[in-house]
């Protein structure tokens, strides 16, 4: 079974601030890590490979520095690593990212299963998996909490819904976005790290892709535009009520109702 896992390099911390004067993000450019949710997708791929054989290829899109997380994936057991990197990909939103990934993945030959994490910790959108599946014209299932059965042609999974779990059987090839805790991710192994330190990371650039229309990539291929960023309003509201002075249960009831919790 050929499995692809999509991984992303994200900032090491979510603690970002906006410069109040320039309105620009202040953050450490150096500190970064693999998106924690992707570890579950990678672990799922490794578990499937152990049980059914095949290869695990990790694919990432990002700057050359993102090679670091591919190296980490090697140390966990991934067989091959691909990085889609080109300055023409810069400034991509979800749509352009999904398109670029689908273009890159279609260069990799036959695949059965593409695994993604639930979402990233920097964008939090959970949209790339389903959008990529659309571009690849294959089915997708998100919120996968358990894999139940695998045959030559299909995979049966549990999809987590609000109050129910749907048991769904989906034909290969397909995209699955797995939930946190589907399996406990293993730690990178030192032995594997040493054994794979010379593994090649294949770089795919714009020129390698089939669709050479620059308007579909990067900032140009991104329909959404960030107009501005700003710090969230801090709730520093403080009120002190006294039960001996007023009808607190009534006041409390009205307030909680006003906040839409009743």
Q: Which residues within the stretch 144-183 sit at the binding site for other proteins (CB under 8 A)? A: 156, 159-171, 174
Among 138, 147, 201, 204, the residue binding other proteins under the rule CB under 8 A is 138
Q: How far apart are CA 78 and CA 97, in angstroms?
A: 22
**Residues of 4-37 as b/e, b for ≥16 C-beta within 10 angstroms?**
bbbbbbbbeeeeeebeeeeeeeebeeeebbbbeb
- H helices of 77-121, in order, are 94-106
18-77 positions binding other proteins, by CB under 8 A: 18, 22, 24-27, 29-30, 62-65
Is residue 122 a contact residue for other proteins (CB under 8 A)? yes
Cβ at position 42, least distance to other proteins in Å:
21
Cβ at position 192, least distance to other proteins in Å:
27
Of 12-20, 36-44, 51-59, 103-111, the window that binds other proteins (rule: CB under 8 A) is 12-20
Give the other-Cβ count within 10 Å of 80's Cβ: 18
Of 72-80, 86-94, 105-113, 189-197, the window that binds other proteins (rule: CB under 8 A) is 86-94
Among 112, 127, 183, 196, the residue binding other proteins under the rule CB under 8 A is 127
Is residue 229 a contact residue for other proteins (CB under 8 A)? yes
* DSSP 8-state symbol, 223: -
- Cα distance between the two ends of the chain: 51
Is residue 212 a contact residue for other proteins (CB under 8 A)? no
Output the six-digit token pair for 227. 């107009």
- Whose CA is closest to 35, among 140, 160, 177? 177
* DSSP 8-state symbol, 140: E
CA dihedral 228, 234, 237, 238 (to 10 degrees): -170
Among 52, 124, 194, 195, the residue binding other proteins under the rule CB under 8 A is 124
Cβ at position 210, least distance to other proteins in Å:
17
Is residue 90 a contact residue for other proteins (CB under 8 A)? yes
Cβ at position 238, least distance to other proteins in Å:
7
Among 126, 146, 188, 189, the residue binding other proteins under the rule CB under 8 A is 126
């Amino acid at each position: 079974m050929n499995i692809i896992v999509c991984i992303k390099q994200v900032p090491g911390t979510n603690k970002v601030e906006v410069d109040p004067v320039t309105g620009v993000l202040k953050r450490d450019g150096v500190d970064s890590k693999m998106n924690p949710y992707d570890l579950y997708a990678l672990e799922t791929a490794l578990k499937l490979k152990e049980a059914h054989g095949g290869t695990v290829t990790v694919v990432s899109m990002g700057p050359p520095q993102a090679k670091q997380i591919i190296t980490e994936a090697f140390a966990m057991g991934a067989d091959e690593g691909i990085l889609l990197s080109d300055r023409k990909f810069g400034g991509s939103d979800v749509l352009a990212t999904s398109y670029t990934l689908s273009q890159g993945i279609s260069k990799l030959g036959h695949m059965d299963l593409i695994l993604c994490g639930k979402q990233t910790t920097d964008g939090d959108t959970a949209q790339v998996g389903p959008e990529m599946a659309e571009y690849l014209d294959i089915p997708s299932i998100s919120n996968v909490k358990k894999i139940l059965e695998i045959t030559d042609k299909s995979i049966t999974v549990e999809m987590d819904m609000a109050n129910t779990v749907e048991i769904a059987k989906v034909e290969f090839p397909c995209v699955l976005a797995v939930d946190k805790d589907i399996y406990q991710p293993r730690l990178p192994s030192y032995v594997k790290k040493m054994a794979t330190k010379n593994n090649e990371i294949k770089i795919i650039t714009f020129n390698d892709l089939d669709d050479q229309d620059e308007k579909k990539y990067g900032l140009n291929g991104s329909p959404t535009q960030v107009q501005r960023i700003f710090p969230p309003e801090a709730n520093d509201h403080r009120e002190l009520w006294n039960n001996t002075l007023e009808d607190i249960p009534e006041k409390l009831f009205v307030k909680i109702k006003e906040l839409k919790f009743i």
